[in-house]
């Protein structure tokens, strides 16, 4: 059974803290994605990666960075958390050739609150 | 710039009714149109998808209707059940590029 796991379901951090969100997939997928989900705004792509050590900016990369040192793991980093980064963060992975776009498998999400 | 517009934002339908969720896109190069279903506390999961070479696709009680000339596609749920209550997202992509999602529709099916 395919599986995408995220390190935390709930996380509370303070403004200015450095935050790491971890995502692991066990499907040997090339492509991994980080989204944030906010009411009325849907899923917005933050960063994605088509291969190890590769990363590309999505639609809203400001304030975030990513790391992909191993194929199965994709980390989202908030260098200095701010209250407007309070959100649900979803990780996803997909197979599919050189670039993504086929079925994406999502993790359960991490609800981050920045105080 | 929102490339996929989804409506309505929320929808309440009685059991057995046929909820319809609509999406419109701008990029004529899009060629893959999936719908994702998300239950509370879970990540979205692929429900059904269509490519523009067909105008309709059915999987069980779920149907996608696709109108290429109008750049619109919609999800219909036949004989809706309370268990269908969820948030639904349409999406689109070009070739094997990343998905662009709509803003979501919260569907409630009342008994």
Q: What is the pLDDT along chain A (115 residues), one digit of tens a residue?
A: 669 999 999 999 999 999 999 999 999 999 999 999 999 899 999 999 988 988 999 999 999 999 999 999 999 999 999 999 999 999 999 986 544 457 899 999 999 999 9
Sheet harboring A19-25: ordered strands across? A4-6, A19-25, A73-78, A64-70
Query: What is the number of domains present in chain B?
Result: 1
Over 90: is that where the pLDDT of B107 sits? yes
pLDDT at B2: 60
Check CB contact under 8 Å for A99 and B34.
no
Cross-chain Cβ contact A43/B42 below 8 Å: no
Q: Do A40 and B103 touch (CB under 8 A)?
A: yes
What does the pLDDT look like over B33-67, one tens digit per residue?
A: 999 999 999 999 999 999 988 999 999 999 999 99
A101 close to B (CB below 8 A): yes
Residues in B 20-79 with any Cβ partner in A closer than 8 A: 32, 34, 41-46, 49
Would you say residue B81 has pLDDT above 70?
A: yes
Question: Domain of B61: which CATH number?
Answer: 2.60.40.10
pLDDT at A97: 57
| All domains of chain A in start order, with CATH | 4-8+15-94 (2.60.40.10)
Structure confidence at residue B98 (pLDDT): 85
Q: Contact at 8 Å (CB) between A58 and A110?
A: no
Within the 11-40 window of chain A, which residues sit less than 8 Å (CB to CB) from chain B? 33, 35, 40
Q: What angle do CA A103, A109, A110 make, to 5 degrees?
A: 150
> Domain residues for B95?
4-110
Residue B87 has pLDDT above 80, yes or no: yes
Look at residue A95 in the predicted model and tell me its pLDDT.
86
Q: Are residues B43 and A98, on separate chains, in Cβ contact within 8 Å?
A: no
Contact assignment for A101 to B94 by CB distance below 8 Å: yes
Distance CA B83, CA B72 (A): 27
Q: At residue B89, does pLDDT exceed 90?
A: yes
Residue B69 φ/ψ, nearest 5 degrees: -65, -35
Task: Tell if the CB–CB gap between B98 and A100 is shorter than 8 Å.
Answer: yes
The residues near B53 (Cβ < 8 Å, ≥ 6 apart) are: none
Write out pLDDT tens, residues B15-38.
999 999 999 999 999 989 999 999
Residue A96: predicted pLDDT: 65
pLDDT tier at B95 (50, 70, 90 boundaries)? confident
What whole-number distance in Å separates Cα of residue A23 and Cα of residue A75? 6
Separation of alpha carbons A58 and A111, rounded Å: 20
pLDDT, position B1:
53
pLDDT for A101 equals 52
Contact of A108 with chain B, judged by CB distance below 8 Å, is answered with: yes
């Amino acid at each position: 059974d395919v599986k995408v796991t995220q390190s935390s379901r709930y996380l509370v951090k303070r403004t200015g803290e450095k935050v790491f969100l971890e995502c692991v997939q066990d499907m040997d997928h090339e492509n991994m994605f980080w989204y944030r989900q906010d009411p009325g705004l849907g899923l917005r792509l933050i960063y994605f990666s088509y291969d190890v050590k590769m990363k590309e900016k999505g639609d809203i990369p400001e304030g975030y960075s990513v790391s992909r040192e191993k194929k199965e793991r994709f980390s989202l980093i908030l260098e200095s958390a701010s209250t407007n980064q309070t959100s649900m963060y979803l990780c996803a992975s997909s197979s599919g050739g050189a670039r993504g776009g086929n079925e994406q498998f999502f993790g359960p999400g991490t609800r981050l609150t920045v105080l | 710039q929102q490339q996929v517009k989804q409506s309505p934002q929320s929808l309440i339908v009685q059991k057995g009714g046929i909820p319809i969720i609509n999406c419109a896109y701008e990029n004529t190069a899009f060629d893959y149109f999936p719908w994702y279903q998300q239950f509370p506390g879970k990540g979205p999961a692929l429900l059904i998808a269509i490519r523009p070479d067909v105008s309709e696709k059915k999987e069980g009680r779920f149907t996608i209707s696709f109108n290429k000339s109008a750049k619109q596609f919609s999800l219909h749920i036949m004989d809706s059940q309370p268990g269908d209550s969820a948030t639904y997202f349409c999406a689109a992509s070009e070739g094997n590029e990343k998905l662009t999602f709509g803003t979501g529709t919260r569907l409630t099916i009342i008994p």
